[in-house]
Structures are given as structure tokens and as C-alpha cells.
Amino acid sequence: MLSTMQDVPLTVSRILRHGSTVHSGSYVTTWTGVPGQAPAKRTFGEVGARSAQLAQALRDELGVAGDQRVATLMWNNSDHMEAYLAIPAMGAVLHTLNLRLPAEQLVWIINHATDRVVIVNGSLVPLLAPLLPKLASVEHVVVSGPGDRAPLEGSSGGRIRVHDYEDLIAGRPTDFDWPEVDERDAAALCYTSGTTGDPKGVVYSHRSIYLHSLQVNSAEAFGLGSRDTLLPVVPMFHVNAWGTPHAAFMAGASLLMPDRFLQPAPLAEMIESERPTIAGAVPTIFQGLLAELDATKRDVSSLRCVIIGGAACPPALMKGFEERHGLHVVHAWGMTETSPLGCVSHPPAGAGAEEAWSYRVTQGRFPASVEARLAAPGGGFLPWDGASAGELEVRGPWIAGAYYGGAGAEPLRPEDKFTEDGWLRTGDVGTISPDGYLTLTDRAKDVIKSGGEWISSVELENQLMAHPDVAEAAVVAVPDEKWGERPLATVVLREGATAGYEELKGFLAERVARWQLPERWALIPSVPKTSVGKFDKKVIRKQYADGELEVTRVD
């Protein structure tokens, strides 16, 4: 028996049309960082019209047809939002470039994706220009906003044409005949940060973006609606800003774009000035914001919710926001391969204040569309009992089933990333409670295997960062003759703090089993970060192996 429902494709063009008409009065606001100058505002209706003009220009002037890739090397701003909508809606593929990657990785990614056009913010021209001679497929560069175009003109020997964004779209029709593409066709492409080996391409479909947007807007996730203003501090090149730009346009939630002003002081200023209701970023960004709010009185009361994801959020950071500034923090988990929404830590109904904390410090509960299981180290699967720890595997309609193999190549399904029956191996180790709450204890590559037992580096870090003198802490496994591996604790002290290793170890001893306590300690000026703001522990391990750290032993 067949259903009687209409078969309407779930596409980005439907999000574009809906947001620019039904929610035409919502705004995309871009922070300019100019004292005394109001932020630049465009309505969703204006963004929709400019997206149509951009699509016309890409097709008629630059010759973008079919599913060719159009890359963006841009900050979070309204022009980037127009590209987010226009490129996939016209049937091409949006490829967001991580501007914090090393130059050689950017070259590899652009060539692997065979990008034909790159849209770049003027302030990032000095980053792109030296790469142009090495970019085999790029034919056009479109420059958005102020910045010196001259470095682009001669760097490719005239092979690549340079255009101004506003000049390119000016005078073009403000409507476009958006094609009815297959909802399973590629819409967007993101590459992982490539911390081990070459970056890997994850291709999102129109269907996956649409369904993911619906989940982001649900009450079980972030609950975006037309009364909200969202501040996505997370970059638009980092898993499509966690899928929030498309979700916000779908829901009519206004967007406050920080552009390149991601430092604590301007973030606090834009929150006080523009009154967003929800914000999202990785822990390192919010640690800086918390320090700024502690030091300078700001009115941030408009925020109903602060979403922290991308890495484990220290409970001390959550409590600092709530106890000192009245901001409700929601913990979330995901990765590039999961679009990224994997789970969100809303406590269950009826949980009291103290009980709720035990849920909120977890990575959260899985939504209906994300299936999860725990793989046992020796084979088979573990129960959801809140105690049995294994590697998390997931599947669902917005979960990757392969990596992009390159133009004309078959999709890549490496065995260490995908199971034979099609589940994604996340590389995260943790437990799942009977009611579906995920608690990650570590990355599989970061867990400390000491004397046949596992020590969670994340647990040690969270406890250390609860000490009032500790700004940041990263714990890594180092070789040990007796136990195989033992933890090395690297600590960043707050300015003026005086806590010594004995004090920190004693503080830890009250919170974890004594056999887990680190014997090796080192003070560092800052924890190395990856291109998306996560702790880069491979750098610390190398520094230790090369003898670059001043390590003190505390037995």
C-alpha cells in the first residue's frame, strides 16, 4: 500500500524561499567593529533578493553550472549568508574553507574539491593571494567587502579573473528560477581539520541539511523561533556553523554575525548592544568571554541560552556563567561527520536542580533521528547502563556514510571510520545511560592506558579547571616504564595565581581515584589549539617527547 502524501523534495531552496517571504522582516546583522557606527543590517527579504542576484551572477557571468563547487573563505557575515543560500539552492555545491588551516592544507583541499570559484572577504585577500598559483581548478575570485585587491591581480599570471562582489550582483534580477534538484544531491562540502593525515571531505545533501535544520529548531535541541536572535560565534566554516544559519533562516530567527570580531571584549559589546537571545561557540571562546564578563560589567541578560560544543565543556565554565552572570548553558556534542548535531544536554522533565546538573554535564541525549551504540574493545556491543564504556558508533539521516573521494572517484569508507554495516565510528569513548544520555570519557586516541586500566584525560582536565587558579589544563598520556602510560598534566595559571603542583595534586586527590593522579606536571603559557579551537594534544605530546617542556615530578 502506497501513501497518499505528496513527494516534495527537501531542499535548501525551500528554506531560502520560506525565510525570505514568511520571515522577510527578520534580520541578518553584521558587526562592523567601528566605534560609533551601527552594525550593518539586512532583512531576510533583502538577503533572499541578493541571493537571487548572486545566483544569476554565478551562472551567467562566471559560468557555474550543475554541481560545480563554489568555495567561501569568509568570516560570519551577511554576504556569507547569501552564499550559504544561493550556491546550494542553484544546484551548485557550497564549499566552506577553514581560514585557520595551514596554507598547504588549504591548497590541497581546494584542489581536491576542484573549486571553480572562491568568494573571499577583502580582509582575507593576503591569505588567499599566495595560494593562487597552486590552485589548478580556480577560474574566478570574488572579493566581498573592503580590502586591497591588488595582491590577487598578478599572483596567478592573469589566469584567474578577479571580481568585486557588489559590482558582480548589481543590477541583476532579484528573483531566480531555483531548480528542483534531487534532495539527495550534494548541497555543501566541509573538510575535517586534518589533525591526522590529509583532511577528509564530508558532503551534506539537501535532505540532510533540511532535516538537520528541523532538529536544530526543535525544543529538544535549541528551540529557535522567530522571536530569537542567534549569535553564531562558531565559524561558518566549522560544520556550517553547526547548521544554525540554515536553521535560523528556516525558523525566522534573526542572526547577529560577529564577522572577524571574535575576541572577548567585542563579543561582550555586541551582546550588550544587539541583545541576542542565544549564542553558540566552543569552550575556549566562552572561557575568554567569561573572563571578560568577570572583569567588566556588561548587560548580557538577553541571552536565554548559551550553547557550548565542539569539545567537552568544563563544568566550572558552565557554573561560572550561571552563578556569576545568570546565563543558562546547554552542552552539546557533534562532529563534522554528524552535521554536527549528535545530542544536546537538556535534563529530563521533573529533575530537581541538583539532579539536573548530573545530566547537564553529559554530552546529552540523542534525538530520534540519531541511532547510537557502544562498541566493546574486544568485539560486540555494550549495554546502555551508564557504566560500560566503549567507542561510540552512530547512524542517521544527517550522519556521514563515507568521505568525498575527489572528482570522479568513488566515496571513501576507511575501516577505522566506518563499520561494515555502515555505522560511523566516532573515535569517542564513553557510556550511555538507560535513558539515552551520552557521557564521553575521552577520545580513543587520547585515553590514558595505565597498567591495564583506562584514565580519562577529560575528567582530569575538568577537575583541574575547577581550581580557581587554573585558566586551562590539558592532560596527555606519556610513556612510563612501569605502567605503560601515565598522565602528564599541563596547566595554564590565571594571571597573578600562585598555586603550586602539590596544591593542584592535592585538589585533584579529593576528586579522582589516587591511582589516576598525575606524577608529571608542567606549566605552559597556553594550551595549543586546533584550527577550530579544540585542545591540540598531539602538539603537547611532541613537546614532551622533544624535551621542550619543563616537567616537574610530584610523587
Determine whether 337 is an active site residue: yes
Residue 415 among the catalytic residues = no
Give start-end residues of each CATH 3.30.300.30 domain in the chain: 446-553
Which ranges in the chain are annotated with CATH 3.40.50.12780? 14-25+39-204
Q: Does pLDDT of 154 surpass 80?
A: no
Tell the residue number behind the cell numbers 553547526, with chain if given.
Answer: 242
Place 450 in a pLDDT band, splitting at 50, 70 and 90.
Answer: confident
Question: Catalytic pick from 196, 371, 449, 515?
Answer: 449
Q: Which CATH number fits domain 446-553: 3.40.50.300, 2.40.10.120, 2.60.40.420, 3.30.300.30?
A: 3.30.300.30
The pLDDT score that the predictor gives to residue 147 is 93
> Quick check: helix, strand or coil at residue 94?
strand
Over 70: is that where the pLDDT of 279 sits?
A: yes
Chain centroid to CA 546: how far?
Answer: 31
Q: Please determine, for residue 482, whether its predicted confidence score (pLDDT) is greater than 90.
A: no
pLDDT of residue 8: 96
Residue 120 has pLDDT above 90, yes or no: yes
Would residue 431 show up in a list of annotated catalytic residues for this protein?
no
**Amino acid of residue 378:** G
pLDDT tens-digit readout, 304-330: 999 999 888 889 899 999 999 999 999
Residue of 555, 15, 25, 473 lying closest to 244 (CA atoms)? 15
- Write down the mean pLDDT value for the chain: 94
Q: Give the highest mean pLDDT range of 252-261, 311-320, 436-445.
A: 252-261
pLDDT value for 195: 52
- Annotated catalytic residue within 82, 183, 269, 337: 337
∠ CA 341-222-14, rounded to 5°: 75
- C-beta of residue 386 within 8 angstroms of C-beta of residue 408: no
- Provide the pLDDT confidence category of residue 445 given band limits of 50, 70 and 90: confident
- CA atoms within a 13 Å half-sphere pointing along the CA-CB vector of 287: 23
Enter the pTM of the model. 0.88
pLDDT for 194 equals 55
- Say which of 61, 195, 322, 454 is annotated catalytic: 454
Burial (CB < 10 A; 0-12, 13-18, 19+), residue 469, is middle
Q: 261, 319, 315: which is closest to 285 by C-alpha?
A: 261
- Which of 192, 284, 431, 441 is catalytic? The answer is 192
What architecture does CATH give domain 14-25+39-204? 3-Layer(aba) Sandwich (3.40)
Q: How does 484-500 read in b/e, with b if 16+ C-beta sit within 10 Å?
A: ebbbbbbbbbeeeeeee
